[in-house]
Chain A
Amino acid sequence: MADEIKSGMHCAEFETLLFDAVDGTLVAGTLTRFRTHASGCASCGPLFADAQAGQQWLRSLAEVEPPKNLVHNILAKTSGVEERYQEQVVERKPSRFALALGWLQPVLTGSFSGIWATVRQPRFGMSVAMAFFSVSLVMSVAGIKVNELAKVDLRPSALRRTYYSTQARVVKYYTNMRVFYEIESRVRDVQRATTPAESRPRERERSREPEKEQRKENNTSGRPSKGQERNGDLNQYRNNDRNGDQNYASDESEPVVAQAGEARKAREFETGDVDGSTSLCSDVTRRNV
């Protein structure tokens, strides 16, 4: 910029006044001299025009909106009071639901107060949510789409086909589920685990069998033991009773029976009844007496 005087103003003075001129703070006399110089000087004129244009461009820029979480982040990093800030935000901007609730409050607290009290229970909300979840699950499994409900074919044959296909799909779905497999394998494991547990009582019974046998041997009355009666093992009792005489008679350690056997043999010998079928009853009767 040449330091030349045009209209009573140096270019250096022009540059000094440029800021105030663009901002519109020059007094009237100085402004006239300034404008005269600008119109006559080849370098100062365009400078003034550019400065004005630059200011206009910048003033056209709008303010930028900061991110929504900026204040929250700042408070979290400085005083750590973001919770209260959030509460304030909630208080400042009530939700649409809260507004609607405010409108409905007089109605609900009036005639429907009892129902409203039930509805407001968290349990009720959970029940509704679970019901909704179940229905949506069933619908998704059954392949029913809400937007296709209008197109559903309600003819009996179509319904039957839908029923069978749905049933097949459900069965396939559940049998293919991993949980299902796991439960099945667990049940098998439990069954396997319980099988040897059941055999133990049998072993115990086996171990008790010698005792029972000994008791039977000691039981000279020929009657079944109480346990046998309780178990209702009548056949065994009958067999024992039927063959007992012979068995008992063959055992020498049973003196009474042995004596009875000997007496019977002697009597058979005397009467000639070798079969001994008639004398058996009399022996038993005698024993009981």
Chain B
Amino acid sequence: MEDAQVVNLIVRRAVGGDSLAWEDLVHRYNRRIYNICYRFSGSGEHADDLTQEVFIKMYKTLSSYDVERGAFMTWVTTITRNLLVDHFRKTKQDRVTDSMDAGTSPEEDSLTLSDQLEDGGPLPDDLQRKRQAAEMVHKGLQKLSPELREALILRDLQDMDYREIAVALKVPEGTVKSRINRGRAELARLLSRTYKQVI
């Protein structure tokens, strides 16, 4: 039995009131949804809340899932994306305030607040460099527009097919490709600038 068929069976059982099947779904998808939320919102705390909201919404609307319309993962991603967009709109004002308060030094830009606070002990060079690079990319991703960001997350971090992304984002396939291209190029430019500043 293929994975999609197994998932559909589990979903059917969960819709029928089988709590074990619901638990199975939560175990299967919590990591993936959390990662999407984390990369989009940029905060672990927000990602935690958003993931819970996604599952609450899933639980309430699970019976509305139609197997004929597409894969369960695409349906879950659509729910997640809609909630992320809502969250983005709600927190727009907060972000403006944060960006005004934020420091502009390149060192601060390249490190997260937790890294700055920890000011970790003597880490091996490679490990520290990788950590800094990961933080740079994560922060760079937050500077992209939400349209480009969501397309990049789904494609390059979640390995979704561009057709599935088009369904999840409800935009034409060409638009998805274009957003991904622009997003990648813009991120690379941002990171190259930051990287030069750090060095």
Contacts and interface: CB of A to CB of B under 8 A. Distances in A.
Nearest to B38: A64
A79 B19 contact: yes
Interface in B19-35: 19, 22-23, 26-27, 30-31, 34-35
A61 interface: yes
Contacts of A52: 184, 188
B52 A66 contact: no
A22 B44 CA distance: 30
A51 B23 contact: no
Contact of B55 (A51, A64, A74): A74
Given A53-B191, A66-B47, A74-B52, 18 more contacts: A18-B181, A19-B180, A51-B184, A54-B183, A54-B184, A54-B185, A54-B187, A57-B191, A64-B38, A64-B39, A75-B26, A78-B55, A79-B19, A79-B22, A79-B59, A81-B23, A84-B23, A85-B23
A75 B22 CA distance: 9
Nearest to B57: A78
A15 interface: yes
B152 interface: yes
User: How big is the A interface, by class?
Assistant: 20 to 34
Contacts, number: 118
B46 to A, nearest CB: 12
Interface SS, B side? helix
B35 A63 contact: yes
Contact of B181 (A19, A70, A78): A19
Interface of B: 19, 22-23, 26-27, 30-31, 34-35, 38-39, 44, 47-48, 51-52, 55-56, 59, 133-134, 137-138, 140-141, 152, 156-157, 162, 174, 177-178, 180-181, 183-189, 191-192
Contacts of B31: 63, 66
Contacts of B174: 16
B156 to A, nearest CB: 4
A57 B48 contact: no
B51 A62 contact: no
B185 A50 contact: yes
